[in-house]
A = this chain, B = another copy of it.
Amino acid sequence: MAVTVSAAFDGGNIAVTRAERADDIVLTIPRDHMSEFAQWFYFRLSGVRGAACIIRLVGLEASAYPGGWPDYRAVVSYDRSDWCRADTAYDKAADGGTLTIRLTPEEDSVWIAYFAPYSMERHNDLVARIGSAPGVTSEVIGKTLDGQDMDLLTIGDGPVNLWFIARQHPGETMAEWWMEGALERLIDPADPVARALRAKATLRIVPNMNPDGSRRGHLRTNAVGVNLNREWATPSLERSPEVFSVLARMDRDKPDFVLDVHGDEAIPNNFIAGFEGIPSITPAMTDRLAAFIAILDRISPDFQTVDGYEIPAPGKANLTVATNALAERFGCLSMTLEMPFKDANVAPDAVYGWSPARSKALGRDCLAAALEVLPQLR
């Protein structure tokens, strides 16, 4: 059976240098369309049952985050549902940076990705399912440049406005797994946290900020190579209709709370990044931020506060970034949640690393944290 490689599917991304033999497969990661970013890969390898495969992704020192490769392990699946980590090593010096994945598949085909994929079909199924649950409103608030729908789900009817957005960077699929966990909890009729949240707050949720990048298999940008998380100062229908439509809606239903869900390529832990460097920061805002972080740290053993980004100096915040822009614009508690592509080193998992199931659990826990911080938001 011939070895074949394919990425011609929803979210797929790979280029083949050579793949004649299972033990000598050489691949490169195509850049996001109209952009320099390259990091997300997702492909199917066939004709390899029982073969000791050696798969090399080369040229990775030119990828978006070379710091993401050391200690990283690729995810693999036979059934496209259960994604385990594979034996993976990074050699910075070989062929411009080489990630070598080794596995001997038990099946004819194996699917290999940077992180467990979340397809637009699954997104559409999620929106259809959650949107059909009692008490949920589903809206299309705009269109992407590829003509896809921008979905907003609204749950609850309390006075506090909570916003959750995810996957501005489409290759950060853990962000939409997080959403699936959060949304499933929110529609659970017996869950006490969900019931309390639905009574006390109105939750507005954008499960996928970047459908075009998702379907195209991008790491970081939309259909025209724009990094949406640098568009919140001046979004436009031409370059960033995704941000434009969401920000317009936020202007109408002003957030008291925003959580923007991301993945980080390098840091092997979950953490929150705040808005410390914005011009109009107040002590009350800082207190709320500290409160939420402390609550989440208490609730979730997978969360921590040691690893994270450097805190910007006063006034040095990048106001094109969602978290900063929204804190500045609305004076609200606005945060970026980062989950790892690698593993959460506070509680590492040898088989799965950081995973869809753990992302979903963190989504559920963040709702509990939101409920607890609620009294401090207004």
Contacts and interface: CB of A to CB of B under 8 A. Distances in A.
A295 to B, nearest CB: 9
A148 B190 contact: no
A35 interface: no
A104 interface: no
A251 interface: no
A129 B196 contact: no
Interface stretch (A4-12, A163-171, A258-266, A275-283): A4-12
Contact of A80 (B4, B124, B357): B124
Nearest to A109: B138
A111 interface: yes
A345 interface: no
Interface string A71-113: 0000001111100000000000000000000000001110100
Contact of A47 (B140, B147, B365): B140
A106 B80 CA distance: 29
Nearest to A139: B1
Given A79-B128, A122-B121, A301-B371, A107 B192 contact: no
**Minimum-distance CB pairs A-B, first 5:** A190-B357, A8-B147, A121-B121, A192-B301, A192-B302
12 contacts: A4-B140, A10-B10, A46-B139, A47-B139, A77-B128, A78-B128, A80-B124, A81-B125, A107-B131, A107-B138, A108-B131, A188-B357
Given A1-B139, A8-B146, A190-B349, 9 more contacts: A2-B140, A9-B148, A111-B128, A121-B122, A189-B352, A190-B355, A192-B300, A192-B347, A193-B301
